[in-house]
């Protein structure tokens, strides 16, 4: 979600200016609460034409809803979570709800009401002349839902994992990587694996495909392009076979609609419609 926020903030639609407001901290509960209170005050006192809120589920949703309630401008409530299970129709009735795909809009209709769908953006930073290698890559934070332990259990010959500083023997732990390093990994990996317990619309899959990197993902990840092999987490041999024989054709075409220019144009249309609609009722 953070990468989407940063990318959209850096590439506002034509005729719009944007700034971002962080509501989260990794430095403990006190810092989280302090950051949330600061963000809430900024939104309450800010002079904005529109407030675009990005939300996951659980505590993230509650924090963001409290911020939406104090906004002095129209609110877009943009849901990213793949585990959103809260009945929010009455909470979100006054806001424009946006989901990650038409599939998510359909799935969440009973919980959030009617919504628009806008795909996540990709702005590939590729380098010419980079050759693809044979290692398998997993990219994600050190969280059980991302499937690190499952990936270790596959016994792959050359598995490289970001987001962790240590890993079992035979696995290369890469820690947190820079944007430049991320794109280099996606351009050189033989295959990206996404063995997640749940997801919304993983940026790493979109970015991998944009970089021409084959992807094998868990069946828990919804709305996967046809060029991504989906395997159940119970099927270990199926994972090994898919990694050894991934789909290598049509990868870039599968995410052409996610190009940052296309996505920001779509956001511009939504922003403009909200402002025009508000003006017509004043």
* Phi (first) and psi of residue 117, to 5 degrees: -130, 135
Please check whether residues 109 and 174 belong to one and the same domain. Answer: no
Which domain, by its residues, includes 253?
136-257
pLDDT at 281 over 70: no
**Tens digits of per-residue pLDDT, 94-134?**
999 999 989 889 999 999 999 999 999 999 999 999 999 99
pLDDT at res. 125: 93
In a domain, residue 128? The reply is no
pLDDT at res. 193: 97
For residue 241, give both structure tokens.
């076979």
In a domain, residue 126? The reply is no
Stated pTM of the model: 0.88
How many domains does one find in the chain? 2
Q: What is the mean pLDDT of residues 68-81?
A: 94
In a domain, residue 265? The reply is yes
Percent of the chain with pLDDT over 70: 99
pLDDT at 163 over 80: yes
pLDDT at res. 201: 80
Mean pLDDT estimate for the chain:
92
pLDDT at res. 280: 66
In a domain, residue 34? The reply is yes
On whether the CB atoms of residues 199 and 215 are closer than 8 A, the answer is no
In a domain, residue 127? The reply is no
| Sheet with 96-99, edge to edge strand ranges | 51-55, 75-79, 96-99, 116-117
Q: What is the CATH number of the domain that holds 33?
A: 3.40.50.2000
């Amino acid at each position: 979600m953070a990468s989407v926020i940063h990318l959209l903030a850096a590439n506002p639609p034509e005729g719009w200016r944007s700034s971002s407001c962080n509501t989260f901290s990794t430095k403990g509960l006190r810092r989280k609460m302090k950051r949330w209170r600061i963000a809430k005050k900024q939104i309450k006192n800010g002079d904005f034409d529109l407030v675009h809120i990005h939300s996951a589920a659980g505590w993230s949703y509650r924090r963001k809803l409290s911020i939406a309630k104090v906004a002095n401008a129209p609110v877009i409530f943009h849901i990213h979570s793949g585990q959103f299970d809260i009945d929010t129709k009455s909470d979100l009735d006054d806001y424009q709800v946006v989901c990650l795909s038409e599939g998510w809009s359909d799935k969440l209709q009973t919980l959030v009401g009617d919504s628009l769908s806008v795909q996540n953006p990709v702005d590939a930073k590729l380098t010419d002349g980079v050759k693809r290698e044979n290692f398998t890559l997993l990219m994600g934070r050190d969280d059980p839902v991302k499937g690190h332990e499952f990936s270790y259990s596959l016994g792959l010959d050359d598995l490289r994992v970001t987001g962790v500083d240590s890993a079992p023997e035979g696995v290369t732990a890469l820690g947190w990587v820079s944007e430049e390093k991320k794109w280099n990994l996606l351009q050189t990996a033989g295959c990206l694996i996404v063995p997640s317990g749940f997801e919304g619309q993983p940026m790493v899959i979109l970015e991998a495909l944009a970089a021409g990197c084959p992807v094998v993902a868990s069946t828990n990840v919804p709305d996967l392009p046809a060029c991504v092999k989906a395997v159940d987490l119970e099927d270990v041999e199926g994972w090994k076979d898919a990694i050894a024989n991934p789909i290598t054709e049509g990868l870039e075409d599968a995410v052409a609609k996610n190009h940052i220019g296309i996505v920001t144009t779509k956001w511009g249309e939504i922003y403009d419609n909200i402002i025009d609609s508000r003006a017509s009722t004043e």
